[in-house]
Amino acid sequence: MLAVVDWHLVWMRIAHPDHVFFRALYTTVYMAVIAQAMGVLLGLLAALMRTSKLAPLRVLSGLYVWLFRGTPLLVQIFFIYYGANQLLGFTLVPNSLNLGLFSLDGAVVAGILALGINEGAYMREIIRAGIDSIDRGQMEAAKSLGMRYSLAMRRIILPQAARVIVPPLGNEFNNMLKNTSLVFTIGVYELFADAEILYSQNFQPVEVFMAVAFWYLVLTTVWTIIQSWIERKLGASERGDDVGFFERLTFTWMPRWGQVR
Amino acid sequence: MQAEDVRKRFGRLEVLKGVSLDVDKKETVCIIGPSGSGKTTFIRCINHLEKIDSGKITVNGHLIGYKRRNGALVEDSEASIARQRTEIGMVFQRFNLFPHKTALENVTEAPVHVLGVSKDQAADDARALLTRVGLADKYDTYPGKLSGGQQQRVAIARALAMKPSLMLFDEPTSALDPEVTGEVLDVMEELAHEGMTMIVVTHEMGFARKAADRVVMMDEGVIVETGTPEHFFDAPDHERTRQFLSKIL
């Protein structure tokens, strides 16, 4: 059976990528990074709004999560790309966005917006859980020292919550890297589009999609390594624990080995 | 510190039923009483960690947590409540040290970020304070690596770093192993002798007897009896106080 696979083609896609491929890879990565950053900011904002004294803000935060977690991401992508300008009555999604050093295509802008706004809804829940996990006494201690809520949040609560937030945040970014493949549907030339277009020319699905799956795997693997490093940084100072970098990696990939130590 | 007819209820339960207490400068007052008597709630009201329903509390003549508007008292702004709290140090039963910061950073945090003291100055002050509470070798240790008694001493240093004029202690030794309560009480006793104004909620009768100028007995949301330690422990006036003391001594 395996003999049918054109291994040479797979190998070429993996070992000898062309510059068009690298542009696509680059697009995937920066879209994921910007959208995730946006998701974290929106999620933080929504999480803080959720505990606000002002009822409208609390309601808004709830509506946001309800709406963007309750509808398909693909629908949101299409809606924002094709419908947002019309709905809002102003240009949220421009034809192209010139940022000086580089310019973004309108579809890329729409894709980032959709992925980021969608992500914010999930991040709100993660950040909320992180904040809630911190003992109430921490806020009280901060206040008793004369700190205001915002300062206590920034200096005392959020740095501690980060330790709880980062592992699920890593999961989210892993998903984000893969979810960017959806924006090929509105014409963004990213990793999956690169594969899809080649496939439409040579009709060799096994080779083309095997190769693109490999590249996604590379991205998520690199991310796993970066995440282990971040978690180590966050965890080490506080607990003074000595879980090494490679131990933590091992734990990520082979939990049962990790536990034996 | 002056408290006038302070009342506070949680839902249907009235926890403070009109508490009035004056504490003079340099005085150390111990509040004792059975659990549920409202003593912890009362000292939490003094730095407005709890809102009060009626009455008023002043520290150094400043109204705490509320301001007068058209003759009525309304809750003060967050900024001015925060400012009032800088004058009032608080030590908690469960320490509440910041676990992501070293002992030294715990102490410098508020002076630097609330009072705007320079980092070097704050670090110098913090080292002096930590030395004073007997932790000269623990500057760079994280709370997780300190014993309960050491953590509570860092917490005292942290509160003192704000140079408060009043210190509140909420059962500072209740979460400690018996063998380390002494080291915390010693620090507090020294503080009392140096003339700090202190209000201490405690079950440590030995401390109350040695360090307190006055002892206050609370029960069911009211102050039952106030007196000097001698009067209190040797010849209390009230039956309720006698009962309570006989149970714990």
Q: What are the chain A neighbours of B94 within 8 Å (beta carbons)?
A: 137
Among A64-68, B30-34, B66-70, whose mean pLDDT is lowest?
Answer: B66-70
Average pLDDT for residues B191-195, to the nearest whole number? Answer: 95
Question: CA of A138 to nearest chain B CA: how many angstroms apart?
Answer: 6
CA distance B96 to B98: 6
Pairing of strands B214-219, B54-59: unpaired
Which residue from B95, B96, B124 is spatially nearest to B111, judged by alpha carbons? B124
| Closest by Cβ to A240, choosing from B47, B49, B145 | B145
Contact (CB<8Å) A148/B82: yes
CA distance A28 to A231: 24
| Closest by Cβ to B100, choosing from A135, A151, A238 | A238
Residue A257 has what pLDDT? 52
| Closest by Cβ to A138, choosing from B83, B96, B115 | B96
Confidence of residue B107 (pLDDT cuts 50, 70, 90): very high
In the three-class reduction of DSSP (H, G, I as helix; E, B as strand; rest coil), residue B228 is classed as coil
Q: What are the chain A neighbours of B110 within 8 Å (beta carbons)?
A: 145-147
Question: CA of B105 to nearest chain A CA: how many angstroms apart?
Answer: 11
Question: CA of B191 to nearest chain A CA: how many angstroms apart?
Answer: 19
**Whether pLDDT at B95 is above 60:** yes
Question: CA of B126 to nearest chain A CA: how many angstroms apart?
Answer: 15
Chain A contacts to B (CB-CB under 8 A): 135, 137-138, 140-149, 151, 155-156, 159-160, 163, 237-240
Contact (CB<8Å) A135/B83: no
Q: For chain A, how big is the Rg over CA atoms in Å? A: 22
Confidence of residue A124 (pLDDT cuts 50, 70, 90): very high
B122-177 per-position pLDDT tens digit:
999 999 999 999 999 999 999 999 999 999 999 999 999 999 999 999 999 999 99
A43-68 per-position pLDDT tens digit:
999 999 998 889 999 999 999 999 99
Q: What are the chain B neighbours of A133 within 8 Å (beta carbons)?
A: none
A103-119 per-position pLDDT tens digit:
788 899 999 999 999 99
Question: CA of A160 to nearest chain B CA: how many angstroms apart?
Answer: 7
Residue A233 has what pLDDT? 82
Confidence of residue B72 (pLDDT cuts 50, 70, 90): confident
Residue A236 has what pLDDT? 55
Percent of chain B at pLDDT exceeding 70: 100
Confidence of residue B108 (pLDDT cuts 50, 70, 90): very high
Mean pLDDT of chain B: 94
Among A49-63, A234-248, B120-134, B233-247, whose mean pLDDT is lowest?
Answer: A234-248
Average pLDDT for residues A164-190, to the nearest whole number? Answer: 95
**Whether pLDDT at B29 is above 50:** yes
In eight-state DSSP terms, residue A2 is G
Q: What are the chain B neighbours of A143 within 8 Å (beta carbons)?
A: 49, 82, 85
**Whether pLDDT at B9 is above 60:** yes
- The phi-psi region of residue B22 (left if phi > 0; otherwise alpha if psi is between -120 and 50; otherwise beta) is beta
Q: For chain B, how big is the Rg over CA atoms in Å? A: 18
**Whether pLDDT at A259 is above 60:** no
Of residues A117 and A101, which shows the higher confidence score?
A: A117
Query: How far from each other are the two terminal CA atoms of chain A, in whole angstroms?
Result: 42
Contact (CB<8Å) A146/B49: no
pTM: predicted TM-score of the whole model, two decimal places: 0.85
Residue B234 has what pLDDT? 87
Residue A87 has what pLDDT? 87
Average pLDDT for residues A236-240, to the nearest whole number? Answer: 51
What is the helix (H) or strand (E) element at residue B244, kind and residue range? helix B239-248
In the three-class reduction of DSSP (H, G, I as helix; E, B as strand; rest coil), residue B214 is classed as strand
Which residue from A minimizes the CA distance to B92? A141
Residue A240 has what pLDDT? 47
Which residue from A195, A44, A193, A29 is spatially nearest to A115, judged by alpha carbons? A29
Mean pLDDT of chain A: 89
Percent of chain A at pLDDT exceeding 70: 89
Q: What are the chain A neighbours of B88 within 8 Å (beta carbons)?
A: 144
Residue A245 has what pLDDT? 60
